[in-house]
């Protein structure tokens, strides 16, 4: 009998959790994510750190894939090119570019930042920036 009571409580808990997730999703759909660059904070190797960045667009849109020649990823501390140790992907809507360290390739360390520049050719036609490239910069110490 005790097991039945626990399962019933668990069933109610799951139902409530599902409802809360749906409610949060509906609220998020009504307000768009802000545009800009944001830290990608993940837990890896037992520690939480900035393991990459996310760039979100509002009026522009990225092409479905971005070639390495259309992208510059540089660390601020040493001005190193990070393209060889990072991976990147564009979401289906072309509004979000996620850049992150490849597993086992390192991290930003402390007191660092990252600069990302994307060439005009990496944006959809009709949605291209007026500049030849768009650039973003952010510190990588946890905010």
CB 136 within 8 A of CB 97: no
SS3 content of the chain, % helix, strand, coil (to 5): 25, 35, 35
Choice between 104 and 33, residue whose per-residue pLDDT is larger = 104
Q: What are phi and psi of 113, to 5 degrees?
A: -155, 175
Q: State the pTM of this model.
A: 0.76
Each residue's pLDDT tens digit, 80-105: 999 999 999 999 999 999 999 999 89
- Average pLDDT over all residues of the chain: 82
d(CA 97, CA 72): 13
Checking if the pLDDT of 62 tops 50, the result is: yes
């Amino acid at each position: 009998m005790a097991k039945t009571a626990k399962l019933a409580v668990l069933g109610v808990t799951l139902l409530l959790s599902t409802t809360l997730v749906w409610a949060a999703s509906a609220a998020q759909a009504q307000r768009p994510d802000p545009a800009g660059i944001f830290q990608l904070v993940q837990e890896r190797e037992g520690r939480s750190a900035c393991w990459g960045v996310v760039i979100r667009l509002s009026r522009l849109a990225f092409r479905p894939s971005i070639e390495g020649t259309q992208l510059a990823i540089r660390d601020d501390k040493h001005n190193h090119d990070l393209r060889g140790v990072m991976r990147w992907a564009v979401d289906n809507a072309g509004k979000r570019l996620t850049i992150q360290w490849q597993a086992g390739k390192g991290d930003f360390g402390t007191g660092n930042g990252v600069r990302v520049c994307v060439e005009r050719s990496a944006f959809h036609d009709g949605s291209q920036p007026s500049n030849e490239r768009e650039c973003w910069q952010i510190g990588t110490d946890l905010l």
